[in-house]
Structure 1
Amino acid sequence: MSTPDTTAPAPETPAVGAALDVAPAGAAGVPAARQGLSPTAQAAVAAGIPKETERGYNGDWKRFKAWALAVDRCPLPCTGETLTEYVTWLTLTPRPRTGQPYKPASIDRAMASIVVAHQAAEYPPPDQTGARLVLKGYTAELKRTKDPRGRVAKAAAATPAVLRRMAAATDRTTAIGIRDMAALLNGFALAARRSEAALLDWEDVVETEEKGLAYDIYRPKVNSDQPVDVPYGTYPSTCPVRAMKAWARCLLEHGRPLTGPIFLRIDRHGRIAHPMTRGGKPIGDPDGRMTGEAIGDVVTRAAKRAGLTKAPDDLLPDLPARWTGHALRRGYAVASRQAKKDPIEAARHGGWVDGSKAFAGYHDRAGMWDEELNPLYGIGL
């Protein structure tokens, strides 16, 4: 480890709400306070950070701050040398939970949290040149040695063929089964992230006579509302419109008005949006709204019921499948390519920005066996 930072720290701005646990002025190892953002402005900035990102950044920042103070370095503001030392430490130090150092993607997020903390405190971010070189070398070594940590973990693709298997294994005579199919099929049709599906309200959807459902879906990652039309499906078992109407009828039969959140939690006794407590205190959304994690669990459980233990990938059929909430979004991208839909329109329907690398990766991979695109077809092999 190199010698401690001797750079004189500048005064610090208070934390930006709860978005990052940037220690207040006067805390150990933190410079004295100066005038900065008001509490109102702090809360306003914090509101601009998605909740899932906020939770991840908070944990990353706390770990960095603890490491910095333990090795007698200043966490805020920190120098480029401190950041490089920290990234080097992350590549070498086993995590208590896994017994292995961090994956490259986790280190990249940790660096992002440090940058955000500096921006929140109105400091220029540290120089990332050295840290990026360390991360680049670490990633290359993991790939060279075929270390699984060097692979980007991707959700399996829940294509229509997969959804048909999930539907066949789901009991649609129960409230849970009806809700789960509505979530699965409409999550696919909207190419919704799990957080987007969780935010849907009945006020966001309108039935269009004889055509289907018109949604106004909020996509937090790109901070935009988007109109998306979902037509009736060809097959009743996987029709998102029929599935949603079945869920609406189920709620009405249980005396639930079609207002507020669409997807509601259901306990093991079949009670819809039943109040939850822990230690005598209410927990969970008071309206019964499912969390994004719960939406992801719907996908995982449906795949387990259908016996989908392997990824339905023609190239790598023996890889274990990762059935997460993102499987619906990836499945939509793959299916749109297989159906030869216009990639620009397909991406826009799913809320990807024009030129999205993520969408292109899913879309292009799905076309690898297309004779019009694969350059090896017809060249005389």
Structure 2
Amino acid sequence: MSGELERARQLPAEIRTAWAARYGTDAAERLSAAEDFADAMKSAATPPNTADTYTKGWKVWQRFCAEQGFPELEGSRGALVAYVAWMLDRGRKTPGPGGVRGYAPASAASHLTAVVVGLRDPEAVGATHDPNPVSKDAQAEARARLESIATRLAKAGERRGRGKAPAADIDNLHRIVASCDDSPTGRRDLALVLTGFHFASRASEIAGLLLADITTHARGIKVAVVTGKTRRSVRTVAVPYNLDEPEICAARAWQRWAESYGTADQARPAFPRIDRWGNIGGAMAPDSVTVAVARVAQRSGVPIRWTGHSLRSGLATEGRKNGKDALVIAKQGGWAPNSKAMLGYMELADEWDDNATSGLRRTGR
């Protein structure tokens, strides 16, 4: 407990003094330690990729403030609007495609969120300043200006950012099956792609899986996703055997990989790194998963470059094509039932079949 009390002494003196006067010294020290414990719990509950995004976004804000001579702890309406305009005009350190110095609108929106979070909660961005929340009106105006500039860029024909990840599809999954050999790397790659597709995985979710998280059952496998980004994405989902198209059966691909990999140590990563000589290492990082998916797809002759997120968007798209209910798709992928992201993926399937102009014919005759 002594270590907790030492950390607790970092609280403002006036708070400790007020607690001591009201409850006594011992109780005040315990309340201080509880504050430290609450901070630690909050930190543990924040996904690493979210924390990393906030930290990177805060650094962009610091760079803007230094360049413009603004105090970085003041998120006023004018400062945030100026920040948005700066990001979209020349915020990047190095030029992007076509020499563009401005961020893509989606990236600018993410960096704006980091500022709002960082001013309110310094620890979320690795800072130590006192909290200084941003007003809702200031946030709203900055986001409105961002949307306005983004619309103007789109009208001018300027496209920034990568856009939506191309969706994995059944035809190209068959191509991947045909290109993966029976080596440990081939088995791992195939199991990674097929398993990831069938539970609509993010790259970070695949990277976080352990052997203990994937279990075999009479009708297929179950995947326990414990590193999900949101409350809904922490889930356990069933992936049944594919009796209609066994070539792309994720359960069988997983079992073949697990058989060659070995399952005695359930604490090992489900999908480890494998070097060019076949040596098996530790867990893959999310970026490594993205690289692996892109590499496997390219080797298989998939015409559009897949990313780690292609597996996630692919299940929503293919599920919709096959008539699956939106609630069923949402449960499998860990989306909220009205998720804009999921509905956007499903629109890729609906834009031709569920189209206002599809099948139009004369009536009344």
**TM-score category of the 2 structures, normalised to the smaller one:** 0.7 to 0.9
Task: Please tell me whether the aligned partners of residues 77 and 123 of structure 1 are also in contact (alpha carbons under 8 angstroms).
Answer: yes
Aligned to 2:239: 230
TM-score normalised by the chain length of structure 1 = 0.77
Letter in 1 for 2:70: R
Q: Contact 2:189/2:292 (CA < 8 Å) preserved in 1?
A: yes
TM-score by length of 2: 0.81
Show the counterpart of 1:143: 154
Structure 1 stretch displaced more, 70-79 or 192-201: 70-79
Aligned to 2:293: 299
Residue identity opposite 2:199 in structure 1:
L
Q: Which residue identity is paired with 1:134?
A: R
Q: Which residue matches 1:339?
A: 322
Amino acid at match of 2:326: P
Matched, 1:191 2:200: yes
Structure 1 residues 34 and 308 mapped into 2: Cα distance closer, same or farther (>3 Å)? farther
Per the alignment, do residues 247 and 118 of structure 1 end up closer, same or farther by CA in structure 2, a change over 3 Å counting?
A: same
- CA gap of 1:350–1:129, structure 2 versus 1, over 3 A, is closer
Asked whether the 8 Å contact 1:118–1:125 carries over to 2, the reply is yes
Tell me how far apart the structure 1 counterparts of residues 316 and 258 of structure 2 sit (CA, whole Å): 27
1:106 is the counterpart of 2:107: yes
Matched, 1:73 2:73: no
Match of 2:83 in 1: 86
Judge conservation of contact 1:219–1:351 (CA < 8 Å) in 2: no
Q: For 1:139, what is the secondary structure of its paired residue?
A: helix
Structure 1 residue 134 corresponds to structure 2 residue 142? no
Q: Which residue of 1 aligns with 2:358?
A: 377
* Residue correspondences, number: 321
Say if 1:365 and 1:34 are closer, same or farther in 2 by CA, change over 3 A.
farther
Q: Kindly provide the CA deviation profile for residues 112-161 of structure 1, in whole angstroms up to 9, marking residues without a partner as x.
A: 00011122143221412432232122111111011112x76111111121
Match of 1:354, SS state, is: coil
**Amino acid of the residue matched to residue 170 of structure 2?**
P
Match of 1:29 in 2: none
Q: Does 1:53 align with 2:34?
A: no
Corresponding residue for residue 261 of structure 1:
269
**Root mean square deviation, CA, Å:** 2.6
The one-letter code of the counterpart of 1:346 is: I
| Distance of aligned partners of 1:47 and 1:125 in 2 relative to their CA distance in 1, 3 Å threshold | farther
Partners of 1:34 and 1:147 in 2: how far apart? 53
* Kept in 2: contact 1:88–1:131 (CA 8 A): no
Residue 362 in structure 1 maps to residue 345 in structure 2 = yes
Query: Which residue of 1 is the match for residue 225 of structure 2?
Result: 217
Equivalent residues of 1:333, 1:363 under 8 A apart: yes
Question: Following the alignment from structure 1 to structure 2, what is the Cα–Cα distance between the partners of residues 125 and 345?
Answer: 38
Question: Deviation string for 1:149-179 (max 9, x for gaps)?
Answer: 2x761111111211101111222x2111100
Local SS of the residue matching 1:128: helix
Alpha-carbon offset, residue 41 of structure 1: 4.1
CA contact 1:226–1:351 (8 Å) conserved in 2: yes
Contact map agreement 1:170 1:305 (CA 8 A) in 2? no
What code does the residue aligned with 2:187 have?
Answer: I
Q: Letter of the 2:356 partner, please give it.
A: P
Please state whether the residue corresponding to 1:270 is helix, strand or coil: coil
| Aligned residue identity for 1:228 | V
| Mapped partners of 2:314, 2:267: distance in 1 | 29
Three-state SS of the structure 1 residue aligned to 2:273 is coil
Shift of 1:72: 2.5
**Percentage of identical aligned residues:** 32
From the superposition, tell whether residues 367 and 66 of structure 1 become closer, same or farther in structure 2 (CA, over 3 Å): closer
> 1:201 matched to which residue of 2?
210
1:280-305: CA deviation from partner (whole Å, max 9, x where unpaired)? xxxxxxxx111111111121011110
Runs (5+) with no aligned partner, structure 1:
1-16, 18-23, 25-31, 274-287, 310-320
Residue 289 of structure 1 pairs with residue 272 of structure 2: no
Residue 63 (structure 1) shift: 2.1
Query: Can you list the C-alpha shifts for 1:163-197, whole angstroms capped at 9, x where unaligned?
Result: 101111222x2111100001000001111111111
**Structure 1 or 2: more helix by fraction:** 2
The Cα offsets for residues 83-128 of structure 1, whole Å up to 9 and x where unpaired, read as 1111121122163142321111111011100011122143221412
Q: Distance in 1 between matches of 2:356 and 2:77?
A: 45
Partner SS state of residue 351, structure 2: coil
Q: 1:265 to 1:256 in 2, by over 3 A?
A: farther
Q: How many angstroms apart in 2 are the aligned matches of 1:58 and 1:219?
A: 20
* Inter-CA distance 248–375: structure 2 relative to 1 (3 Å threshold): same
Change (3 A) 1:193 1:272: same
